[in-house]
Structure 1
Amino acid sequence: MSDPATLRARAEGLAEALPPLLAEAEHLAQAVLLGEHGRRRAGVGDEFWQYRPAHAGDEARMIDWRRSARSDAHFVREKEWQAAQSVLLWVDDAASMGFSGERNHPTKAERARVLALAVAVLLMRGGERVGLTGAELPPRRGPLQLLRLAEALGADGAADYGTPDATGMPPHARAVFLSDFLGDLAPVEAALTEAADRGVKGAMLQILDPAEEAFPFDGRTIFESMAGTLSHETLKAGDLRARYLDRLAERKQRLSDLARVTGWHYSTHHTGEGAQGALLWLYRALERAQ
């Protein structure tokens, strides 16, 4: 165990190196006004949820006599279940995520990292524990955990396309996968199947650059992967547009079907759009993944 002075020094060092990402994530989280992240069902908690008619077997101490005095029936005051949940993040760090088709657009990696950290801020405000898939950073809460997340999310991978990691997920946890999902989908299917076997549900957000959606290329064009391992030259790029768009639509449909059969939620987000809508979708998707 590290002593408090060591932890504080490490946290301050991280904070000095990471203000842009943290500041942007905090600003984005502030723009989404949300209440406590409850479980939306009766159970142990502090927040009032609803009154319900008393049933046979309810103990007298459970009855809200003040509410019952206004009616001919007896009512029980229920609280919302607010047990802390573990939420695991997988943020694709592959080379493909470094693409941006316009100077004024963030890269896919930049948008994914900000969204991941912003959703972590919101979840921790609601009392949840947040970490990364795998054994690198188990779910915890608090400011130091946010700094650890920001540090871990700042690293870039060397592969062309990312592979989701479903290891380290506690049973019945929640998860968020952020990627362009442009590589082989077999590892994605394997990861979601493994997660579903553990009762883990969550959200997949496919982050794409507008150029990857519109395919605005024509004439002589050289297509190269971001890691430089793949290259294709054509004199008639426009002739590839229809086939490319069909393949992209098929990929999206496959991801949507995969999410549906495993109990996850799937959506797409473009880096040319504001991030607030994507953050709100992620948060609501986690609420629905119960």
Structure 2
Amino acid sequence: MASIGQIVEQTPTNDVLSRAQARAMLVPDCMVEAKRIANTVIAGWHGRRKRGIGENFWQFRPYAEGESLSRIDWRRSARDDHTYVRDREWEAAHTVWLWADLSPSMMYKSTLAQVSKESRALVIMLALAEILSRSGERIGCPGIMEPVSSRNAAERLATAIMHAPQATGLPDTAMIRGQSDIILIGDFLDEADAVMNRIAPLGRRGLRGHVIEIADPAEETFPYSGRTEFVDPETGEKLVAGRAENIRDLYQRAYWARRQALGEALRRLGWSFVFNRTDHLASEALVAVHGYLSGMPAQRAIERPTGGKA
């Protein structure tokens, strides 16, 4: 059986120029939608508590190599096999790094969805930039935009994305310093171990991370039947299924096992994990991430949905 990333009907593209032009045309509409969603949810998004040098307890998180041993909470660490640091609340703004996967696999849009995965990722990213900048946070995008503290950070990020070069894979994060938050948005269709090999070093550096997986409903339900050709958008490799319905169960087991494994690995790292289907509201992901940023995460199990809404 081909990898998860290949069992998705796609149209590959090798034309870098047309790809950049399509993105440039998409971003303005995404910015409008992002502002609409931000205005909808911001009434309930009050100033969030922040991690730093304040006196009040904020959270426990895994110890990162190089930190002072005096920061370790030995009582909490004694409960299991991990070493934990006690973080405290702060008042000053810090940096939230936002990144959205803009690789070819994100262009996918089935007939079951109203928007592509790329469009949804951009809307969530820009809406987060809009809301966080209004809260006084510094917003940056690794490899695309240096951190800025400005009320128009979302517009500046949108402009930077329009002119960004084509890239695949997770971004270069060498420029990120200190106790920052990083929010990664993409489809993460690679095997969980491969994804974690790239993410785990960020957690060990002390970054507080949040992962948002974007999924098309067809990727979860696999509605195909009869003779169907599947094309990997990254490599162009093809898989032809004579009777696609015969591999549905095998595909779905692999798909859900990948998501479950990724979520569990991220939580062990101390990171949050949420997912958003493109036939659901984008605001669902915003509210979920806000819960983690504010220290009040909503409980959400990884379960197979029974339906969606536009």
| TM norm structure 2 | 0.69
Alpha-carbon distance between aligned partners in 2 of 1:280 and 1:156, rounded to the nearest angstrom? 30
AA at the equivalent of 1:255: L
Deviations 1:201-238 (A, max 9, x none): 12111100000010001110001123461211111101
2:149 alignment partner in structure 1: 141
Q: SS where residue 163 of structure 1 aligns? A: coil
- 1:103-142 map, 5 Å: 105-134=114-143, 136-142=144-150
Structure 1 vs Structure 2 CA RMSD? 2.8
AA at the equivalent of 1:237: A
Identical positions, percent: 31
1:56 alignment partner in structure 2: none
Unaligned runs of 5+ in 2: 1-24, 56-88, 298-310
1:119 touches 1:283 (CA, 8 Å); kept in 2?
A: no
2:276 alignment partner in structure 1: 269
Change in Cα spacing, 1:250 to 1:148, as seen in structure 2 (3 Å) is: same
Alpha-carbon distance between aligned partners in 2 of 1:244 and 1:164, rounded to the nearest angstrom? 29
Residue 280 (1) aligns with residue 280 (2): no
| TM norm structure 1 | 0.74
Residue 184 of structure 2, aligned match among 154, 177, 189: 177
Deviation at 1:158, TM superposition (A): 6.5
AA at the equivalent of 1:150: A
In the alignment of these two chains, the number of paired residues is 238
1:210 alignment partner in structure 2: 217
Alpha-carbon distance between aligned partners in 1 of 2:246 and 2:106, rounded to the nearest angstrom? 26
Alpha-carbon distance between aligned partners in 2 of 1:166 and 1:187, rounded to the nearest angstrom? 17
Change in Cα spacing, 1:166 to 1:42, as seen in structure 2 (3 Å) is: closer
Deviations 1:103-144 (A, max 9, x none): 75110000000100101111111111111124x312212145
Deviations 1:249-274 (A, max 9, x none): 11111211221121100111100011
Change in Cα spacing, 1:17 to 1:218, as seen in structure 2 (3 Å) is: closer
Deviation at 1:275, TM superposition (A): 1.0
Q: Which has the higher contact order (CA 8 A, sep 6+)?
A: 2
2:130 touches 2:152 (CA, 8 Å); kept in 1?
A: no
Alpha-carbon distance between aligned partners in 1 of 2:135 and 2:207, rounded to the nearest angstrom? 19
2:102 alignment partner in structure 1: 93
Residue 38 (1) aligns with residue 49 (2): yes
2:175 alignment partner in structure 1: 168
Instruction: Name the stretch that deviates more: 245-254 or 145-154.
Output: 145-154
Alpha-carbon distance between aligned partners in 2 of 1:191 and 1:141, rounded to the nearest angstrom? 28
2:133 touches 2:151 (CA, 8 Å); kept in 1?
A: no
Alpha-carbon distance between aligned partners in 1 of 2:189 and 2:47, rounded to the nearest angstrom? 35
Deviation at 1:156, TM superposition (A): 7.5
AA at the equivalent of 2:157: L
2:179 touches 2:207 (CA, 8 Å); kept in 1?
A: yes
